[in-house]
Structure 1
Amino acid sequence: MKSHPLQYVILIVLAVIISVSFGQPAPAAAQEGNVFITTPANGSTVTGLVTVTGAAAFPDFLKYEIFLKPGKGELLWVATTYAPVINGNLARFDTRTYQNGTYQMIIRQVNSDSNYTEWAGPMITIDNELGAPLPYPEIEPSYLYMPEKYALVRLKNCSGVDLEFDYTSPDGFRSADALKLRAKGQDTTYCPFEDFVLIPGEYRGTATGSGEKAYTYSFQAEVGKVYELIYNGEGAGRNQFIVNYIQPDKRASTDTGGTQGPVEAVAAAPTQTPVPLAGAIAPAAAEPAAVAPVEAPAQSNSVLPVTGQGEPSVLPFVLIGMAVLLFVVGGGALLVMWRSGFSV
């Protein structure tokens, strides 16, 4: 039988489409970068004040979050930081505010669109010599490293009443909802806090203590700077609400996350793999300033809002459908040619 050129053309087109369709990479579990914990080590027992070291640096960086997962229980928030870390200090936490037991450490890498990937870190055991967890930690767990694109704000409630706080700018950047912080405990120096980032500009808003009159404030947020907003309550008089520009936390000497150097680990990174994601992308209303301004209150049993990764691409399925359609049409054309007397 004599081959017809159309036969080869159709076969080549089919081969190209099928190879492209099946050659599409599956959605990656995590973008390129370094996300791992070096200490505490896997299987270690910890007590008291603990510093978490490792790396959290990846493309399209917004922030990273660290959690403790108790068996099949919900994630317990530990810290949130808005700057990359490479071979440095990721967080610090007071084990005495957690129940004794075994936990898995989780790092959540969050991108600028609020999609996230969670990485399973080491298993640790908390062993406190206490009858019950302490109600307040002795340290603020999240590091205030200098942000690259935004102004970083730590809002603290050092009053004896619950606080509601909001902000807005002339450019239209505003808090989606009022930020809420619980009252400061009577027997502690620890002030509940919440960190968020702002696009540089002028901001105004109100800080309202429960049962107190709203305090109207304004301040200028500049890129790369860190601010501390402290609410002390009506009883503090002129110091009811204070805006301070503060120095960012100092990085570890080994940490290159604040430089333009390559993302490399000093030592071999521990094997840490992605864990299944839950939920879907956060609604746009949750990010009025193109960032995620609302974090969980700094308490040991709080859980951050659930977000997740976007839908996988449908391109492979479209290409497969095109391949099937072309196969049917091409086969029909060959059949017509054969019946018309063409040799294939």
Structure 2
Amino acid sequence: MAALEHLDLSRNNLSGKIPSSTLPPDLGRYSMLEVFQVASNYRLIGQLPQHLGDNGKLIRVVASDNNLSGQLPKSLGNCNNLIFLNVQNNRFSRNIPSGLWTLLNMGSLLLSNNSFIGELLERLSRNLSQLEISHNRIYRKREQVLDLTWELTSFQRLNFTESDILSRLIDNNVIGSGGSRKVYRVAINPSGEIVAVKKTWNKKKVEQKLEKEFLAEVKILSSIRHSNIVKLLCCISSTNNSKLLVYEYLENRSLDLWLHRKSSRASTISGSVQHVVLDWPKRFQIAVGAARGLSYTHDDCSPPIVHRDVKSSNILL
């Protein structure tokens, strides 16, 4: 049998303990396990297998809304690929494995409504976007208190939540960066639907400038409905001054990429995208589309919108 990569037993009315034989110490065919989910089995008791993270390949662990107890497996603190851990609404206790706070790719750490004890470490993963530790016995120094409560404001009908976005903001998904911004390519569901996420964060010298630019971008793009202008789907903001804009994703990327044939970047674009040929009819079609978008913002918006940075890298195909 091929090695198991994805184990999802959520919402199955399971009861009793998770047998240690589910994940034997030698791991065997579980040596490639990346996803472990047992959420919403309210009669599930006992502990998570202490060797759950021994293979070091786990990406996602969801064991929320059960009746589990004991200590979290220390082995999870060694899973450098782990980006999402949700054990909310259980009876876990004792100290949280120290390695969890600083895992390089950890994006969401959801531990609320348990009986954990100890202190919140001062050094946290720089990718941590979502932290829930309420209703535990964790004490925090005043200067360490972090408010990572996120608020989502939608401008289109959505089929994802803020958790779907936040848990995937990792370095492997970055497709562009500069200054105080990063742009991520994020798969939001198992069917492979993609969105583009622009993340900004404030630095003291540019805080007011970034805040002004962010609010202006949201105000303008949320009101635009035009086939030649990329759709702003929602914005997600936090009181810790991290802000996210979620756009529709255009797989062909920018016109600049194809005009200048940047092969090293083009080669990373998957599938049929690599077969794009910019012949003259195609270039004319792109030019007309860009002109229609600009005409709409200049003549049909009230008040008119001036882009101020029209260039090939800002024209998406």
Compute the TM-score of the two structures, normalised by the length of structure 2: 0.22
Compute the TM-score of the two structures, normalised by the length of structure 1: 0.21
Instruction: Tell me which of the two structures has the higher relative contact order, counting C-alpha pairs closer than 8 angstroms and 6 or more residues apart.
Output: 1
Q: Report which of the two has the higher share of strand.
A: 1
